A and B are shown apart, each in its own frame.
Chain A
Amino acid sequence: MTTAIATLSPKTARPLGYWLSSAFLALVVTAAALAPLVAPYQPDAVDFAATLAPMSPEHLLGADQSGRDLFTRILYGARTSLIGPLVLLAIASVLGVALGTLAAWHRGWVDAVVSRLTDVMYAFPGLLFVVLIVAVFGNGMTTAVVALGLAYTPTIAKYTRSVALAECAKPYIDAYRVQGMGGFTICVRHLVPNMARSLVGYLVVLFGEGLMSLATLSFLGFGAQPPSSDWGLMVKEGQPAIVQGAFLPVLVPGAAIALVVVSFNVIGVRVADRMGVKA
């Protein structure tokens, strides 16, 4: 006689959301890259005959007040909307990881200065800080991206510092020091690569957040400027159409932002989980 032993399936969580999100993002990225081939119109081709057109075979997602095809504009807008957060994160992570690692490695007064600096930045609402910089250096996508990059630096620095503190306490770091290696070498060649596990998941989640912040700035008129079809700017420009009873010019870019941000969150959390990190 045999006894059946119930065992838990090793696959406990069904990562359906993860696959959906990945597929969706892959689609968005490909479409953005191939926009000139895929898009049926030019993004700024005005056609007053199609003003506020509803969904139809000619205009898949309708058209805005100037009759510009929303589907086309969304595709082209994906380019600025995706590259913006990418550059932003590049700036923020280079600065943040460097500062956080520096603080955790040196401790003492260096740590105190960096930590208090990040605390001060935390005390400021991020958006207010960015608006301040934009007010000084003028509107535009570049200024907005750089400003947001600076605004995100303390978050990453703080996170990196906590990860680096734990990593520095591990004996292998000591072992390198005992071999007579300099601090800079150990940090760049060993400490940072070993923290990459923890940092990547966090950065993916931050990507979604950064996209949203950039869209917000564009919506407020500080970021991308017309005739760009940045998603945030599209929401802003579509706003008056609501009064005329047409929701598509706001709904389409809004949905695009929401779906992409949620996808990045789902993937980020999953990546962090897979790497055994609590995000």
Chain B
Amino acid sequence: MLLSVEGLTIEAGGRRPILREVSLTVGKGEIVGLVGESGSGKSTIARSVLRLLPAGARASGRVAVSGDDVLTMSPAALRDLRASQVAMIYQDPRSSLNPVRRIGDFLTERMVLTLGRPKAEARARALELLAAVGMRDPELRMRQYPHELSGGMLQRVVIAAALAADPALLLADEATSALDVTTQAETLALLRRVQAERQLGMLFITHDLQLAAAFCDRVHVLYAGTVVESRPAKELFEDPRHPYTAGLLACTPELGDPRPIRPIPGRPPSLDDAFTGCPFAPRCPHATDACERWLPEPVTVSGGSAACRLVEA
């Protein structure tokens, strides 16, 4: 298994852990979605794969990339992991590029410094990558600065940089959320293409359940640091089993649907909301008193699992 997260719990001083007993896997050539509201811990999962933990965090459980435990590996191994095995694509490409360096420097520098390639070779490779992500006139782009490119083009640059080291695993943290719709579609198509061509494993993080269902093979839905439902995308979309997933799907407006939009009542829990039972119980339309005391654990449903005691197998 390319990436396997087992029982990952991360605490960083709040009244509840940021992540509680999260388990998931990503195989070679597989796109796994991670969906949740802001503050649900999606990004923390992606960052923990690179051991970028919040300051003062205590982590337990296991995060293994190709079998090596990231949380306990040596600094040298960690650097090697970041340099050549796992790549990350950020939400806002504009702020994830150094504003005072040229695009070409950004692409070649890492190849020279962390992968030890000669400069000329790195340059040739950078041109090749820019062409591969569909940039016209790569020679010109190499000489430009980030402020001279649009957001969509910058995201292509970031994707090219992510591919520079031939990683096996790609972490896309809200990679398309900051782009406008047409660019978003292009970027998604691009991601899909490079993923299929290179048989990459991808962890695709988004707050958009519809998008995840359309783009991913399997989807994990995250709520308050707990995985509440993990199932194949298609099944999840057609027949959500956890009330939270169902709520998320119900609050998306649809054309031609006369029913009013039904938002999930209440607000997403903060790190200072502690729970004795199911964290979704206060907002759940089906909750009973027993839910307040039942600590969620995965219940097997068709194709995957859902962490709700009301789910019948």
Beyond A179-B82, A180-B83, A190-B101, whether A185 also contacts B113 by CB under 8 A is: yes
Q: Which of A135-143, A167-175, A270-278 touches B? A: A167-175
B109 proximity list for chain A (CB < 8 A): 189
Assess whether B100 is in contact with A177, with CB atoms less than 8 Å apart.
no
B246 CB → nearest A CB, Å:
34
Beyond A180-B114, A181-B114, A185-B113, whether A175 also contacts B97 by CB under 8 A is: yes
Tell yes or no: A245 within 8 A of B by CB: no
Assess whether B82 is in contact with A178, with CB atoms less than 8 Å apart.
yes
Greatest chain B CB density within 10 A among A170, A181, A185, A190 is at A181
B149 CB → nearest A CB, Å:
14
Complex alpha-carbon distance, A176 and B50, angstroms: 12
Interface size class of A (residues with CB under 8 A): 10 to 19
Assess whether A172 is in contact with B52, with CB atoms less than 8 Å apart.
no
Which residues of A, 151-182, contact B by the 8 Å Cβ criterion?
170-172, 174-182
Complex alpha-carbon distance, A194 and B96, angstroms: 14
B79 proximity list for chain A (CB < 8 A): 180, 182
Assess whether A193 is in contact with B100, with CB atoms less than 8 Å apart.
yes
Tell me the dominant secondary structure on chain A's binding face. Answer: helix
Beyond A171-B92, A171-B96, whether A177 also contacts B101 by CB under 8 A is: no
Complex alpha-carbon distance, A170 and B95, angstroms: 7
Assess whether B83 is in contact with A172, with CB atoms less than 8 Å apart.
no
Assess whether A178 is in contact with B98, with CB atoms less than 8 Å apart.
no
B48 CB → nearest A CB, Å:
12
Beyond A177-B82, A181-B110, A181-B114, whether A171 also contacts B52 by CB under 8 A is: no
Assess whether A171 is in contact with B90, with CB atoms less than 8 Å apart.
yes
Tell which of B80, B96, B100 touches A174, judged by Cβ atoms closer than 8 Å: B96
From A191, which residue of chain B is reached at the shortest CB distance?
B98
Assess whether A180 is in contact with B84, with CB atoms less than 8 Å apart.
yes
Assess whether B81 is in contact with A180, with CB atoms less than 8 Å apart.
yes
Tell yes or no: B32 within 8 A of A by CB: no
Tell which of A176, A182, A194 touches B100, judged by Cβ atoms closer than 8 Å: A194
Interface size class of B (residues with CB under 8 A): 20 to 34
Complex alpha-carbon distance, A176 and B52, angstroms: 12
Greatest chain B CB density within 10 A among A172, A174, A194 is at A172
Tell yes or no: B181 within 8 A of A by CB: no
Beyond A171-B90, A193-B100, whether A178 also contacts B52 by CB under 8 A is: yes
Complex alpha-carbon distance, A193 and B165, angstroms: 26
Complex alpha-carbon distance, A174 and B98, angstroms: 10
A196 CB → nearest B CB, Å:
9
Greatest chain B CB density within 10 A among A170, A175, A194 is at A175
Tell yes or no: B88 within 8 A of A by CB: yes
Assess whether B95 is in contact with A177, with CB atoms less than 8 Å apart.
no
How many A-B contacts if CB must be within 8 Å? Answer: 53
For A106-125 the 0/1 string (1 means CB < 8 A from B) is 01000000000000000000
A170 proximity list for chain B (CB < 8 A): 95
Complex alpha-carbon distance, A176 and B109, angstroms: 10
For A187-222 the 0/1 string (1 means CB < 8 A from B) is 001100110000000000000000000000000000
Beyond A107-B55, A170-B95, A171-B92, whether A179 also contacts B83 by CB under 8 A is: yes
Tell which of A175, A182, A189 touches B96, judged by Cβ atoms closer than 8 Å: A175
Assess whether B82 is in contact with A172, with CB atoms less than 8 Å apart.
no
Assess whether A194 is in contact with B82, with CB atoms less than 8 Å apart.
no
B50 proximity list for chain A (CB < 8 A): 178
Assess whether B114 is in contact with A175, with CB atoms less than 8 Å apart.
no
From A179, which residue of chain B is reached at the shortest CB distance?
B110
Assess whether B96 is in contact with A172, with CB atoms less than 8 Å apart.
yes
Which residues of B, 91-115, contact A by the 8 Å Cβ criterion?
92, 95-101, 109-110, 113-114
Assess whether A181 is in contact with B113, with CB atoms less than 8 Å apart.
yes
For B42-78 the 0/1 string (1 means CB < 8 A from A) is 0000000010100100000000000000000000000
B52 proximity list for chain A (CB < 8 A): 174, 177-178
Complex alpha-carbon distance, A107 and B55, angstroms: 10
Complex alpha-carbon distance, A246 and B282, angstroms: 88
B113 proximity list for chain A (CB < 8 A): 181, 185
Beyond A171-B90, A172-B95, A174-B52, whether A180 also contacts B82 by CB under 8 A is: yes
Complex alpha-carbon distance, A178 and B110, angstroms: 11
A172 proximity list for chain B (CB < 8 A): 95-99
Assess whether B90 is in contact with A194, with CB atoms less than 8 Å apart.
no
A180 proximity list for chain B (CB < 8 A): 79-84, 110, 114
A185 CB → nearest B CB, Å:
6
A107 proximity list for chain B (CB < 8 A): 55
Assess whether A179 is in contact with B114, with CB atoms less than 8 Å apart.
yes
From B146, which residue of chain A is reached at the shortest CB distance?
A172
A174 proximity list for chain B (CB < 8 A): 52, 96
Binding site for B on A (CB under 8 A): 107, 170-172, 174-182, 185, 189-190, 193-194
For the complex of A and B, list the 8 residue pairs with the smallest distance between their C-beta atoms, beginning with the closest.
A180-B83, A180-B82, A175-B96, A171-B96, A179-B110, A180-B114, A171-B95, A180-B79
| 10 A-B pairs (CB sep. < 8 Å) | A172-B98, A177-B52, A179-B82, A179-B165, A180-B80, A180-B82, A181-B113, A185-B113, A190-B98, A193-B100
